Amino acid sequence: MINEPTKHTNGHQFHEEQGDDHVGSSYETPLRPDAFEKDDDLKIELIAKHFKEIMLILGLDTEDDSLKGTPRRVAKMYVEEIFSGLKPENKPSATLFENKYKYNEMLVEKNITFYSNCEHHFVPIFGKAHVAYISKGHVIGLSKINRIVQYYAKRPQVQERMTVQIANELKEVLQTEDVAVVLDAAHMCVSSRGVQDVNSLTVTSHYCGAFQENEEKKKEFLNYVSLNSNHEI
């Protein structure tokens, strides 16, 4: 059974306007059955066409030198960059290595910067991901943890869902239930529109295995996350 992700705020009351209701149907990104029938070139062509229409409706002069290339730039950005995590073939492959050092304590990778987009208003969510796992005999390269975070960030998202998606992927890849994920993020749908609260942050967490069952393990992880360990190179 999936334990519900915890969500709270960091120092400020959390305000949220996400349509009429903030409802998530599942921890899978909602995709249509025909989501991958069009290739990237066609998607870019169609998005550019429709985005130009949006610009025209807003009253913009799409023949102006500054705006002429905007529809295609936006379309390429959507398909090739900020929503590239929608494509299954972009999912990072993670090679497992034998845990030859027999290191059986938690490994924590924190302050992984990510940029995502709120699926309710299509404006940025950005923040830090903090991840931990305890090896059950295998480890993965540190950069692969970053790539997993980025893969699930690069799609229209809800922070709670993204937290669980990262945790579930790590459990599957590492073949262990002992995984913890915390996301600490700012939402532009809160700061740049609506209540325009520029100071609030949203924190979500998902604990599995030993991190869910052992309060001391959870506290140890959170202590590492809060530890100021910035290093100058």
Catalytic residues: 118-121, 159, 187, 189
CA distance 83 to 156: 7
Encoded tokens for 194: 């609506």
Distances in whole angstroms, Cα of residue 185 to Cα of each of 11, 110, 113, 181, 212: 13, 13, 10, 13, 22
> Terminus-to-terminus CA distance in the chain, angstroms?
43
Distances in whole angstroms, Cα of residue 224 to Cα of each of 107, 159, 220: 10, 22, 6
CA distance 35 to 193: 30
* Residue 124 DSSP SS3: strand
Identify the CA nearest to 181 among candidates 159, 199, 214, 200.
Answer: 159
Contact present, 114 and 124 (Cβ < 8 Å): no
